[in-house]
Amino acid sequence: MEYQRTVADVVIFEGEGVFSGKKIRVEIHPLRENEGIVFERADLSDKPRIPLVIENIVGLEGAVLLTNGKESISLVEHLLSAFHGLGIDNALVKVFGEEIPLLDGSAFPIVRALQEVGYLLLPAPRKKFVLKRPFQLVNGVGKISFKPSHKLSINARIYFEHPSIGEQTFKFTLTPQDFIREVSFARTFGFKDLLEERKKKGLLKGGSLSNAIVIDKEKVLNAEGLRAQDEFVRHKVLDIVGDLFTLGHPLLAEVSAELTGHKLHIEALKALSQAGLLEEVSTRALTFLWIPKKKRRSF
């Protein structure tokens, strides 16, 4: 029986905003059952809150934006991937800035911070979305498809004409253990020339080799190299796990993504929602379970 989860205590991390160049603090606070994931712009005087629902999501070329139409928080995808991967259903995320810090470019620093605090089980069954029928969306060379399933599985394929990348594929079924072991460590990546161009235009005011894999025309520039030979496609799966959670609940589906990005992922999820192809279901709650502090489990 699956119960909803929240964090057992406040989780705090800080880092440089890749867009703003500012130091940004993020606090993750516990919430009760059925409150969902809620973000707060804690740096603003009125501290506006934005719930995580697909209507408040914008998919950009290289990031996911959460917005209420007035205030926004960008780069939420890695944090959402950690929540989704570890099964966190309810949390208040206070962000003292307009973006989530990129940290090392993966979800692992957030996963580690969540593990250190652990989680609490709440007296309510988990809510999930299931598909009513298969769905596919194609946009240019990118294609993403969804098939009904009793679990979430992802089959991703990427291709870059570069000696360090080329064609890579990765198949993954989501469980907390496999998310931590197989996906959470994979870093985002970018091409040196493009990053330098964006910095000159003022689009990027932060960012370095410490929070992304950076590639020139021939090789990976990071002195430590790759964490896995197929780290690039593993990060794609990390992004998909995060993007899927913009629905507000986990999605049970067989997902196939070829040459896709955030923009196509979010476009597809909005199409699923607007077409009424998603059905919310819940597992049956049996007993109230609250874990005392000394018995709190890590993920």
Specify if 299 maps to a domain: no
* pLDDT digits (tens), the chain, 299 positions: 799 999 999 999 999 999 999 999 999 999 999 999 999 999 999 999 999 999 999 999 899 999 999 999 999 999 999 999 999 999 999 999 999 999 999 999 999 999 999 999 999 999 999 999 999 999 989 999 999 999 999 999 999 999 999 999 999 999 999 999 999 999 999 999 988 898 888 888 888 899 999 999 999 999 999 999 999 999 999 999 999 999 999 999 999 999 999 999 999 999 999 999 999 998 763 334 344 454 455 55
Annotated binding residue 178: no
Annotated binding residue 84: no
How far is residue 86 from each of residues 118, 220, 276, measured CA to CA in Å?
10, 30, 27
**Domain residue limits at 10:** 3-290
Q: Give CA–CA dist 92/113, Å, rounded.
A: 15
Specify if 141 maps to a domain: yes
Annotated binding residue 239: yes
> Could you tell me the pTM of the whole model?
0.93
Q: Give CA–CA dist 94/43, Å, rounded.
A: 9
Specify if 296 maps to a domain: no
H-helix segments, the chain? 77-86, 108-117, 176-178, 192-200, 231-244, 262-274
- Helix or strand (DSSP H, E) at 62: none
Specify if 297 maps to a domain: no
- Could you tell me if 110 and 100 are in contact, meaning their C-beta atoms sit under 8 angstroms apart? no
Specify if 298 maps to a domain: no
How far is residue 152 from each of residues 69, 176, 299, measured CA to CA in Å?
31, 12, 19
Output the six-digit token pair for 19.
């867009």
3-state secondary structure of 233: helix
Task: Name the burial class of residue 250, with classes exposed (0-12), middle (13-18) and buried (19+) by CB atoms within 10 angstroms of its CB.
Answer: buried
Residue positions counted in the chain: 299
Work out the end-to-end distance of the chain between its first and last CA atoms, rounded to an integer number of angstroms: 17
CATH of the domain at 84: 3.30.1700.10
Specify if 238 maps to a domain: yes
- What domain count does the chain have? 1
Specify if 87 maps to a domain: yes
Residues noted as catalytic: 262
Q: Give CA–CA dist 218/203, Å, rounded.
A: 25
The β-bridge relationship of strands 23-29 and 142-148 is unpaired
